[in-house]
Each structure stands twice: as C-alpha cells, then as structure tokens.
Amino acid sequence: MSDERRDDERSPDFRNVELVAVNSGGNEKVYPVTLRDTSGSGLGGMYVGQETLSPAATFVLRDAEAGDRRVRIVWTKRVADYVQMLGLEVSEN
C-alpha cells in the first residue's frame, strides 16, 4: 500500500482562510492562504507572500466555514517567486 497522500480522493474546495502562527510572546503572525482542496488526510493550499512558511511550526487555520483547527505543514513547494503550494495536516480539531 502506498503512503502517497495524493492517492486519497480530493475534493476541490477553493476558499480564503488565515494561517496563524503564535510566537512565545503571544503575538500572532497571520498568513493569507487560499485552500485548493481537502481530502481524508489533509488540506491543500496556496500562500502568496515573501516569507517561507516553516514545516517545523504549528499553526492555527482560521476558517469561517470549518472553524479554527490546529494544523502543521507537511510539505511546501515554491512554484513562483512569491507563491508556495502547501500540504497541511490537521493535528487536532
């Protein structure tokens, strides 16, 4: 059996959300993300901005439709100077 996450059935689901990182001082840094699709194993998104998002960090995904969820970045791929594709995994509801 393959562990390739792309084998999961994915549903297109385009909407704007916020990926929020909180530092040790409690300050929030908000990154605008457009979700592309959802699957049983996670979410696919696109971030447009200069900063490189760290897979080592834990984020909160603020989503008006699904509520706040803790997520982590499983993979990133820079596809243009300021565009990163993201693979996100929900770490708790």
Query: What type of residue sits at position 92?
Result: E
Q: State the pLDDT at residue 31.
A: 96
pLDDT band at 12 (very low <50, low <70, confident <90, very high): low
Q: What is the pLDDT of residue 11?
A: 67
Q: What is the pLDDT of residues 31-48, one digit of tens each?
A: 999 999 888 778 999 999
How far apart CA 8 and CA 26 sit, in angstroms, is 36
Kindly state the average pLDDT of the residues 14-24: 90
Domain 5-92: homologous superfamily in CATH: predicted glycosyltransferase like domains (2.40.10.220)
Q: Helices (H) and strands (E) in the chain — how many of each?
A: 0, 6
Per-residue pLDDT band for 54 (boundaries 50, 70, 90) equals confident
Average pLDDT score over residue span 54-61: 89
Tokens of 64: 């008006």
Neighbours of 42 (CB within 10 A): 22
